[in-house]
Amino acid sequence: MMAVRGSVLAVLLLSARPPVRLSAQDSVRISEAQAVLAPLVESYGVSGAEGPVREAVKRLLPAWAVPSTDTAGNLVVRVGQGGPVVVFIAHLDEIGFRVTGIRDDGALELETRGGFFPSLFEAKPALAHTDQGDIAGVFMPRDSGFTRRTPPPLRVDIGTSSRAATAARGVRPGTTVTMPKQYVRLTGTRATGRSFDDRVGSAAQLIALRRLDRAALKHQVVFIWSVREEIGLEGAEAAAASLGTTPRRVYAIDTFVSADSPLELPSFAVAPIGRGAVARALDNSSVTPPAYVDSLVQVARARGVALQVGTTNGGNDGSVFTPYGVVDVPIGWPLRYSHSPAEVIDLKDVVSLADMIRAVAETW
Amino acid sequence: MLSISTLQQRTGGLADGRTAKAGLVACVFLSALPTVRLSAQGEVDRLALRFASMTAVTGLEQPMVDSLRALFPGSTRDQAGNVTLTLGQGSPKRLFTCPLDEVGYVVGNILPDGFLLLRRVGGGGGGRGGRTASPLFDQQLEGHRVTVFGARSAVPGVVAVKSTHLTRGRVATEASAPDPVFTVDNAYVDVGASSVAEVQGLGIAVLAPVSLAKRPQLYGERLLAAPAVGRRAACAALAVAVQAKPKVKGTVVVAFTVQSLYASNAGLASVKALLGPFDDIKTAALPARYADTAVETVALADADRLVREIVQWMEGR
């Protein structure tokens, strides 16, 4: 989910009572969610360099799906026939860095891609993603200014001692840089990793597609895995311009940044993890018409899917469709510790998110 | 100087009331000795990586002690927890040590909602021989994965961090704004549990050791980055030197010591009290880049050199 600079919004948290039985309690469903999500989380794709993630999504598509990639880099799968068209969109990219220069001593100078706390990367292992493969290194620790949390601009040491030696490893300005990541299961149905935002949304769309009853579709449904969301919804803008006024609704499938943490104020965004998907009724980029929120809740109840309703911060891909008269109905999943190397989710929420996507596609 | 420091000459340690405060005397060693085979290089890399992956919070080093005991079947574990083995016989009687502990954490409290709070062990300085950790030592935990060593197994967890999105508009971004470093008092460990009972069900109790998840990173030309890797690679070099079966002059006691960062280096003092006096004492050490950080870095080529130097010293050459 794109981090949007803006003032704190008013509290709005409506409760959609979860059904008695959560479909997510089926261990087969949890296993399926993990099997789809883990390889996506362990693929690297800083904004503008989403290729490995896009290929991972392609590999996980059902056999009948015919994907295409548009000129922006978005991956698109169309299902069903006729109007009005409905769009689901989740983003492929993740936050990270891009090399801006190579110093005389071989170290890499960086710029950020997306919003995050740079202190979380200081003095940690690094990976430079080159055309020749990933090059290991370290984010160099500061050598002064120890009284502030925020470090000076970060640099990466890949173990070379000259500009020429670094260039010989295939690193050049424009190369993206992240840190190594791993999908790790916590206790119960919880898991941690980096870039759950928005690999969970991407995984949920895949699971929904796999389980979709295509015969039940009343119109065409377009599934998009977008690029460059974290740096300004750029892929979605291209998709929205391409589709124009054709879609009736767009469902942005993206993170609901949750205040379910001892470090957060409980004034809003209080959607606990493990209690289902979340209708992102209000964020920094969109307000969902209340009737659509109510309708979403009704669909969830009818299908026995756990759904929460709330407001959080950040922007979503669906917001750039609204200038074309398309209603944006973002649906998220609660996430702790957004844009950090230690994001935490509950796999039950992945299942309920996939079930919501399927339910909306088949019944709305 | 690359590696070995002379701590004391002919000291009896606690036995004769003297402590190991003798000045460090530089030792010059010849490099590229032919007695150590080239195959040792691969073993140094393997053991350095293995040791760097392990956790040995000072005073709570048992798992690493057990691993060393398994590596050296003839070794013994003394009352303090040190792993020692004796090579050769007769005089002179010398000691070669390597401290294996690290600054780390233990669970200090378990909250009703299943989050754990931490207490740091070591790194606080003070008058008991402890070393002061970097002001940013605790900050390395924030927003990163940790391992909680429960009674039954190692349990993965993370240290909570504020969500970037929810901070927008709430935190001033001016350079002059308060920007305090993260301290251990802010470290809420999330293992995915929602209650005390769930935490206890994982085998986690107060005093369970906690460390950053260890994922050593090899980069460049045999550079190895990991927390406390300087110590671990030096211990690997000592282990490989022992495995090389040097023709020891006199008696050499090899000691992998505990609690070097707490309680006046109690582990080394214990070895000297129990097995001393020694005619000479040396400690394995390697130069490290980015010391005391999660990416402390050593050159494994330096560890190769250290192996050769240790063998030479043991053989009295």
The answer on pLDDT for A215 being more than 90 is: yes
CA distance A285 to chain B (A): 13
Query: B144 exposed, middle or buried (CB, 10 Å; 0-12, 13-18, 19+)?
Result: buried
CB atoms inside a 10 Å sphere around CB A39 = 17
Q: Is A314 on the interface with B (CB under 8 A)?
A: yes
Query: Of A116, A263, A336, which is closest to B164 when you measure between CB atoms?
Result: A116
The answer on pLDDT for A74 being more than 90 is: yes
What is the model's pLDDT at position B127? 47
Q: Which amino acid type is present at position A8?
A: V
**What's the CA gap between B309 and B317, in Å, rounded?**
10
Kindly report which listed range (A152-156, A166-170, A214-218, B2-6) carries the lowest average pLDDT score: B2-6
Inter-chain contact A1–B169, Cβ cutoff 8 Å?
no
Q: Which amino acid type is present at position B249?
A: K
* Per-residue CA distances from B152 to B81, B144, B148, B203, B204 (Å): 21, 23, 11, 6, 8
- Residue B171 has phi, psi (to 5 degrees) of -115, 125
CA B241, B242, B244, B248: dihedral to nearest 10 degrees? 100
Do B174 and A150 meet the contact criterion of CB atoms below 8 Å apart? no
pTM of the model as a whole: 0.89
**What's the CA gap between B108 and B93, in Å, rounded?**
43
Mean pLDDT value of segment A148-174? 97
Measured between beta carbons, the chain A residues lying within 8 angstroms of B111 are 262
The answer on pLDDT for B171 being more than 80 is: no
Q: Is A59 on the interface with B (CB under 8 A)?
A: no
- What's the token pair of residue A195? 């870039």
Instruction: Please tell me the CATH code under which domain B5-101+216-314 is placed.
Output: 3.40.630.10
The answer on pLDDT for B311 being more than 60 is: yes
- Measured in whole angstroms, how far is the alpha carbon of residue B309 from the centre of its chain? 21
**Bridge partner list, B211:** B147
**What's the CA gap between B233 and B224, in Å, rounded?**
9
> Closest-CA residue in chain B for A9?
B169
The answer on pLDDT for B4 being more than 60 is: no
The yes-or-no answer to whether B5-101+216-314 and B104-212 have a common fold is: no
CA distance A43 to chain B (A): 18
Query: Of A123, A180, A314, which is closest to B294 when you measure between CB atoms?
Result: A123
Do B158 and A342 meet the contact criterion of CB atoms below 8 Å apart? yes
The answer on pLDDT for A355 being more than 50 is: yes
| Percent of residues, chain A, with pLDDT higher than 90 | 88
The answer on pLDDT for A22 being more than 50 is: no
* Angle made by CA atoms A10, A11, A16, in degrees to the nearest 5: 140
Inter-chain contact A125–B155, Cβ cutoff 8 Å?
no
Mean pLDDT value of segment B119-133? 71
DSSP A169-209: TT--TT-EEE-----EE-STTEEEES-HHHHHHHHHHHHHH
Q: Is A117 on the interface with B (CB under 8 A)?
A: yes
The answer on pLDDT for B7 being more than 90 is: no
Do B284 and B97 meet the contact criterion of CB atoms below 8 Å apart? yes
SS (H, E, C) A123-178: CCEEEEEECCEEEEEEECCCCCCCCCCCCCCCEEECCCCCHHHHHHCCCCCCCEEE
Q: How confident is the model at residue B10 (pLDDT cuts 50, 70, 90)?
A: very low
Kindly report which listed range (A268-277, B5-14, B101-110, B248-257) carries the lowest average pLDDT score: B5-14
- What's the token pair of residue A10? 């008013």
**What's the CA gap between A362 and A354, in Å, rounded?**
12
Mean pLDDT value of segment A11-33? 53
Mean pLDDT value of segment B163-191? 82
Between B30 and B114, the higher pLDDT residue: B114
What is the Cα gyration radius of chain B?
21
What is the model's pLDDT at position A364? 78
The answer on pLDDT for B1 being more than 70 is: no
The answer on pLDDT for A237 being more than 60 is: yes
Mean pLDDT value of segment A151-175? 97
Mutual angle of helices A51-60 and A27-41, in 10-degree steps: 150
Interface of A with B in 129-148 (CB under 8 A): 135-142, 146-148
Interface of A with B in 228-267 (CB under 8 A): 257-259, 261-265
Q: What SS3 state is found at B190? A: strand
What is the model's pLDDT at position A279? 96
> Closest-CA residue in chain B for A188?
B192
Do B117 and B111 meet the contact criterion of CB atoms below 8 Å apart? yes
Mean pLDDT value of segment B108-112? 98
**What's the CA gap between A112 and A110, in Å, rounded?**
7
Do B313 and B96 meet the contact criterion of CB atoms below 8 Å apart? yes
Between B131 and A172, the higher pLDDT residue: A172
Q: How confident is the model at residue A2 (pLDDT cuts 50, 70, 90)?
A: low
Q: What SS3 state is found at A75? A: strand
What is the model's pLDDT at position B40? 67
| Percent of residues, chain B, with pLDDT higher than 90 | 75
**What's the CA gap between A333 and A254, in Å, rounded?**
7
The answer on pLDDT for A46 being more than 60 is: yes
Query: Of A7, A115, A149, which is closest to B164 when you measure between CB atoms?
Result: A115
**What's the CA gap between A37 and A206, in Å, rounded?**
9
CA distance A134 to chain B (A): 11
The answer on pLDDT for B213 being more than 90 is: yes
The answer on pLDDT for B19 being more than 70 is: no
The answer on pLDDT for A143 being more than 80 is: yes
ipTM: 0.91
Mean pLDDT of all residues in chain A?
92
What is the model's pLDDT at position B123? 83
Measured between beta carbons, the chain B residues lying within 8 angstroms of A185 are 156
CATH 3.40.630.10 placement within chain A: 23-94+194-363
- What's the token pair of residue B305? 């050199």
Kindly report which listed range (B67-76, B144-153, B167-176) carries the lowest average pLDDT score: B167-176
Instruction: Please tell me the CATH code under which domain B104-212 is placed.
Output: 2.40.30.40
Q: Is A159 on the interface with B (CB under 8 A)?
A: yes
Beta pairing, strands A75-79 & A68-69: antiparallel
Q: Which CATH class is domain A96-178?
A: mainly beta
- Residue B156 has phi, psi (to 5 degrees) of -75, 145
Mean pLDDT value of segment B227-254? 97
- What's the token pair of residue B187? 């470290």
Place of tokens 């989710």: A345
Predicted confidence (pLDDT) per residue in A185-212, tens digit: 999 999 999 999 999 999 999 999 999 9
What is the model's pLDDT at position B41? 73
Inter-chain contact B156–A185, Cβ cutoff 8 Å?
yes
What is the model's pLDDT at position B170? 62
> Closest-CA residue in chain B for A3?
B165
Measured between beta carbons, the chain B residues lying within 8 angstroms of A142 are 136
**What's the CA gap between B176 and B167, in Å, rounded?**
17
- Measured in whole angstroms, how far is the alpha carbon of residue B8 from the centre of its chain? 22
Inter-chain contact B161–A342, Cβ cutoff 8 Å?
yes
Q: What SS3 state is found at A106? A: coil
What is the model's pLDDT at position B130? 58
Q: How confident is the model at residue B173 (pLDDT cuts 50, 70, 90)?
A: low
Domain borders along chain B are: 5-101+216-314, 104-212
Do B226 and B292 meet the contact criterion of CB atoms below 8 Å apart? no
The residue ranges of DSSP E strands in chain A, in sequence order, are: 68-69, 75-79, 85-91, 96-102, 108-113, 125-130, 133-139, 155-157, 176-178, 184-185, 190-193, 221-226, 247-252, 256-257, 277-282, 307-311, 327-328, 331-332, 334-335, 343-346
CA distance A222 to chain B (A): 28
CATH 2.40.30.40 placement within chain A: 96-178
Measured between beta carbons, the chain A residues lying within 8 angstroms of B162 are 261, 263-264, 337
* Per-residue CA distances from A255 to A239, A277, B208 (Å): 20, 10, 33
Mean pLDDT value of segment B87-111? 97
What is the model's pLDDT at position A37? 98
| Length of chain A, in residues | 364
Query: Of B145, B165, B169, which is closest to A257 when you measure between CB atoms?
Result: B165
What is the model's pLDDT at position B89? 96
Q: How confident is the model at residue B208 (pLDDT cuts 50, 70, 90)?
A: very high
- Interface A-B, measured as beta-carbon pairs within 8 A, has a size of 181
Mutual angle of helices A347-363 and A196-211, in 10-degree steps: 50
What is the model's pLDDT at position A234? 97
The answer on pLDDT for B247 being more than 50 is: yes
Q: CATH fold of A23-94+194-363, please?
A: Aminopeptidase (3.40.630)
**Bridge partner list, B253:** B86, B95
